Protein backbone atom coordinates (compact mmCIF):
# COMPACT_ATOMS: atom_id res chain seq x y z
CA UNK A 1 0.00 0.00 0.00
CA UNK A 2 2.81 2.42 0.87
CA UNK A 3 4.59 1.73 -2.44
CA UNK A 4 1.38 2.51 -4.30
CA UNK A 5 0.60 5.70 -2.36
CA UNK A 6 4.15 7.02 -2.85
CA UNK A 7 4.14 5.96 -6.53
CA UNK A 8 7.45 4.23 -5.74
CA UNK A 9 9.67 3.12 -8.60
CA UNK A 10 12.64 2.00 -6.48
CA UNK A 11 12.12 -0.15 -3.39
CA UNK A 12 14.80 -1.73 -1.17
CA UNK A 13 14.13 -4.82 0.91
CA UNK A 14 16.45 -6.61 3.32
CA UNK A 15 16.12 -10.29 4.16
CA UNK A 16 14.16 -11.30 1.07
CA UNK A 17 14.05 -14.93 2.26
CA UNK A 18 12.05 -16.96 -0.30
CA UNK A 19 10.29 -13.94 -1.77
CA UNK A 20 6.81 -14.32 -0.32
CA UNK A 21 6.55 -10.77 1.01
CA UNK A 22 8.65 -9.54 -1.91
CA UNK A 23 5.78 -10.33 -4.29
CA UNK A 24 3.81 -7.26 -3.17
CA UNK A 25 6.41 -4.56 -3.89
CA UNK A 26 7.09 -5.44 -7.56
CA UNK A 27 3.36 -5.58 -8.27
CA UNK A 28 3.06 -2.04 -6.92
CA UNK A 29 6.16 -0.90 -8.84
CA UNK A 30 4.80 -2.44 -12.03
CA UNK A 31 1.43 -0.78 -11.52
CA UNK A 32 3.20 2.53 -10.82
CA UNK A 33 4.68 2.45 -14.31
CA UNK A 34 7.82 0.37 -13.74
CA UNK A 35 10.96 0.38 -11.67
CA UNK A 36 12.98 -1.99 -9.53
CA UNK A 37 12.72 -3.73 -6.19
CA UNK A 38 16.20 -4.42 -4.85
CA UNK A 39 16.22 -7.33 -2.42
CA UNK A 40 19.05 -8.75 -0.38
CA UNK A 41 19.35 -12.27 1.02
CA UNK A 42 22.39 -13.87 2.63
CA UNK A 43 21.33 -17.53 2.19
CA UNK A 44 22.05 -18.68 -1.40
CA UNK A 45 19.33 -21.36 -1.42
CA UNK A 46 16.74 -18.76 -0.42
CA UNK A 47 17.90 -16.47 -3.25
CA UNK A 48 17.29 -19.27 -5.76
CA UNK A 49 13.84 -19.99 -4.31
CA UNK A 50 12.91 -16.29 -4.28
CA UNK A 51 13.99 -15.89 -7.90
CA UNK A 52 11.93 -18.95 -8.88
CA UNK A 53 8.86 -17.69 -7.00
CA UNK A 54 9.14 -14.23 -8.57
CA UNK A 55 9.60 -15.73 -12.05
CA UNK A 56 6.54 -17.92 -11.56
CA UNK A 57 4.57 -14.79 -10.64
CA UNK A 58 5.86 -13.03 -13.78
CA UNK A 59 7.65 -10.33 -11.77
CA UNK A 60 11.34 -11.02 -12.50
CA UNK A 61 11.65 -7.93 -14.69
CA UNK A 62 10.94 -5.73 -11.67
CA UNK A 63 13.23 -7.39 -9.12
CA UNK A 64 16.98 -7.47 -8.48
CA UNK A 65 17.73 -9.99 -5.71
CA UNK A 66 21.31 -9.62 -4.51
CA UNK A 67 22.99 -12.52 -2.75
CA UNK A 68 25.05 -11.67 0.28
CA UNK A 69 25.16 -9.52 3.38
CA UNK A 70 22.87 -6.48 3.06
CA UNK A 71 25.63 -4.24 4.42
CA UNK A 72 27.49 -5.02 1.21
CA UNK A 73 24.72 -5.61 -1.32
CA UNK A 74 23.04 -2.26 -0.56
CA UNK A 75 26.12 -0.12 -1.17
CA UNK A 76 25.10 0.76 -4.73
CA UNK A 77 21.35 1.13 -5.08
CA UNK A 78 21.48 3.46 -8.06
CA UNK A 79 19.28 6.51 -8.22
CA UNK A 80 20.20 10.00 -7.15
CA UNK A 81 23.36 10.75 -5.26
CA UNK A 82 23.02 12.76 -2.07
CA UNK A 83 26.71 13.69 -2.11
CA UNK A 84 27.59 17.34 -2.84
For residue range 67-78, list pLDDT tens digits in order: 988 878 777 777
Question: Percent of the chain, pLDDT > 90?
Answer: 58
Digit-coded pLDDT (tens) for 6-16? 999 999 888 88
- What is the pTM for the complete model shown? 0.81
Query: What digits encode the pLDDT tens for the residues 19-59?
Result: 887 889 999 999 999 999 998 999 999 999 999 999 999 99
Is domain 2-69 in CATH 3.40.50.150, yes or no? yes
The predicted structure's pLDDT at residue 82? 45
Q: Where are the domains of the chain?
A: 2-69
Concatenating the DSSP letter of every residue in 21-80 gives GGGHHHHHHHHTT--EEEEEES-HHHHHHHHHHHHHTT-GGGEEEEES-HHHHTS---S-
Amino acid sequence: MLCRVLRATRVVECATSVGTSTLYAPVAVRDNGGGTVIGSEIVPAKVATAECNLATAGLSAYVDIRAGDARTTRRDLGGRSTSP
